[in-house]
Structure 1
């Protein structure tokens, strides 16, 4: 259970619990407590009430707040994945979001098309600059260098933004469906390309590959995942603060900067989650680049000799993983899907002989 993991966690695990659970949960709770103490919901806010008149009463309120934050974190922890998937754009579970999802998907599709057009347009302009006659004056030469550097930088930025959209994964069905949000498309880029480059289905092979990663790569990947979860949870927390602030400070125009600040922080947290997602997908690709053969070794499969053999073998293995998750009979599934696979069983090192005890 989460509370037990809090009591028995290491420093790294406690750091994740702190930045992903406790801190994001404390933001809306502390803000609601401040509004209640200032009587914001019953009239004009009296911010002087935030200063404690009695230290003992204040300590009791702080203790109660800590207990409430801990309990809320424990209750919200099982739904953390659901909240992140909500920001990713998996909206099929709710009727309202399922109705508006096609509109957001169309918006993401147009953004991708505009990026492609911008990249092509900038490439054509760079070609025209390169083919233009040499400048005759020093001022014209400097202007051409500035224009070339500016257009090249704009093209690089557009290509980086385009890399956050899923790539074609199959020659027969080249279009990978987009999600309604930028965060979802950034994560789907890794989910549909990291293992697919070698013939492995990423979604089904990643849980089997993750335990085989090196300690350094696992630490880097976990740090990126913690940053992603923390930014996504903070985004939701600041959105809750924004809604509560609008409700509590609706009759105080001078305090409108509070919900505005909460909304800005919500947007910044969402942008940060996209950056963390891009870093996370990079680590996932690196994991397949460095450790995909460790998966074959762990399953005692023969290592391929060529890239073509590797693709065929991984494709066959992915079909086995996918079939295992479908509603098919499990009896003899491996011999059916991996009929022509040969195994390699490395010899175990000989155990040292145990010498008999010396008789005195």
Structure 2
């Protein structure tokens, strides 16, 4: 009976193991096990033989005991993954630069430092942009492309800048949406998400999941340093993993910002239609109407203007 039970759930357990094998928590616990084994090996050269003996002993145990040895590590990894998910958002906010009040002086210094560097790069970019492409050398063309990418990753206004590169990268896309369309993405994005076509949702979800994965790897890298109590190499490995994850986090955040910005570029009309709000008639008026729509969605209004538009009254988007 027990054997039939384990055969019945074997497929589902295998799927869980496959998912767990590619999770940051699995690497974290395996690294801790290796650090412990390395410490045991340093004290006793017979740890390998003990592991093999344990494997042979396990083969002779009943199916229920073998199942416990299979399920217990998987349960530990899954529970660790759930705990890791709870840490992702607070850590992400900290990496963006949303720090408590006691850290305000530090945040201001870092913000000023990044702003000075950005201003120097912007001045250089303007100098290169003022010249025609045929006048630029290959090195200057590469420099211009690099400076344009960096320019997109920091808000144009100093007051909107954050003390970290990650925070500026995410804030920059928000500020461009607000400046271009008058729509506040913090207010409008949850509403627009409900209206997006499936393709746009999939692209956004994939970009968001990619960034969250880098945050999880960063957290596991930092926590990996606790295994230093067993093996010294856990400290440099953990710090190296955390640094690599943060470096990968920056392009992931930029990609997410580009996807969200593209959703507003292409599908913002859906937000006006769902709110029965009159569509802007030209780019100049769109910023004003977008600001009014944001205010309406955020705080509502009792004003009789503008008059709601029925779906049949919206102009056709064309072929």
Asked if TM exceeds 0.5, the reply is yes
2:153 corresponds to which residue?
A: 164
Alpha-carbon distance, 1:178 to partner: 2.6
2:78 corresponds to which residue?
A: 70
User: Do structure 1's residue 312 and structure 2's residue 312 form an aligned pair?
Assistant: no
Deviation sequence 1:84-135 (CA, Å, 0-9, x none)? 222222222xxxxx5345325423432342243245347658989x9xxxxx
User: Do structure 1's residue 113 and structure 2's residue 116 form an aligned pair?
Assistant: yes
Identify which of 94, 110, 125 aligns with 1:86. Answer: 94
1:212 corresponds to which residue?
A: 195
Deviation sequence 1:62-99 (CA, Å, 0-9, x none)? 5322111112223343443223222222222xxxxx53
Alpha-carbon distance, 1:209 to partner: 0.7
Alignment of 1:46-65 (within 5 A): 48-49=47-48, 51-55=51-55, 57=58, 61-65=69-73
Return 5+ residue gaps in structure 1 as ranges: 1-13, 93-97, 131-144, 169-174, 251-255, 324-332, 349-360
SS at match of 2:194: helix
SS at match of 1:176: helix
User: Following the alignment from structure 1 to structure 2, what is the Cα–Cα distance between the partners of residues 18 and 334?
Assistant: 48
User: Do structure 1's residue 340 and structure 2's residue 300 form an aligned pair?
Assistant: no
User: Following the alignment from structure 1 to structure 2, what is the Cα–Cα distance between the partners of residues 35 and 263?
Assistant: 15
Higher share of residues assigned helix: 2
| Residues 44 and 116 (structure 1), Cα distance of their counterparts in 2 relative to 1, 3 Å cut | farther
Return 5+ residue gaps in structure 2 as ranges: 1-14, 60-65, 314-319
Deviation sequence 1:260-281 (CA, Å, 0-9, x none)? 2332221111111111100000
SS at match of 2:159: coil
| Residues 45 and 81 (structure 1), Cα distance of their counterparts in 2 relative to 1, 3 Å cut | farther
8 A contact 1:105–1:180 mirrored in 2: yes
| Residues 205 and 46 (structure 1), Cα distance of their counterparts in 2 relative to 1, 3 Å cut | farther
User: Following the alignment from structure 2 to structure 1, what is the Cα–Cα distance between the partners of residues 80 and 90?
Assistant: 16
| Residues 110 and 47 (structure 1), Cα distance of their counterparts in 2 relative to 1, 3 Å cut | farther
Alpha-carbon distance, 1:165 to partner: 1.1
Alpha-carbon distance, 1:179 to partner: 2.4
| Residues 277 and 47 (structure 1), Cα distance of their counterparts in 2 relative to 1, 3 Å cut | farther
User: Following the alignment from structure 2 to structure 1, what is the Cα–Cα distance between the partners of residues 265 and 96?
Assistant: 26
1:95 corresponds to which residue?
A: none
Alignment of 1:127-138 (within 5 A): none
TM-score (norm 1): 0.69
User: Following the alignment from structure 2 to structure 1, what is the Cα–Cα distance between the partners of residues 121 and 180?
Assistant: 27
8 A contact 2:114–2:163 mirrored in 1: no
SS at match of 1:160: helix
SS at match of 2:160: coil
1:247 corresponds to which residue?
A: 229
8 A contact 1:193–1:202 mirrored in 2: no
Deviation sequence 1:305-328 (CA, Å, 0-9, x none)? 2233332222111122332xxxxx
SS at match of 1:260: helix
User: Do structure 1's residue 194 and structure 2's residue 177 form an aligned pair?
Assistant: yes
User: Following the alignment from structure 1 to structure 2, what is the Cα–Cα distance between the partners of residues 315 and 126?
Assistant: 32
Alpha-carbon distance, 1:208 to partner: 0.6
Alignment of 1:1-360 (within 5 A): 18=19, 23-39=23-39, 44=43, 48-49=47-48, 51-55=51-55, 57=58, 61-92=69-100, 98-100=101-103, 102-121=105-124, 124=127, 148-168=137-157, 175-241=158-224, 243-250=225-232, 256=233, 258-323=234-299, 333-336=300-303, 339-346=304-311
8 A contact 1:122–1:151 mirrored in 2: no
8 A contact 2:36–2:230 mirrored in 1: no
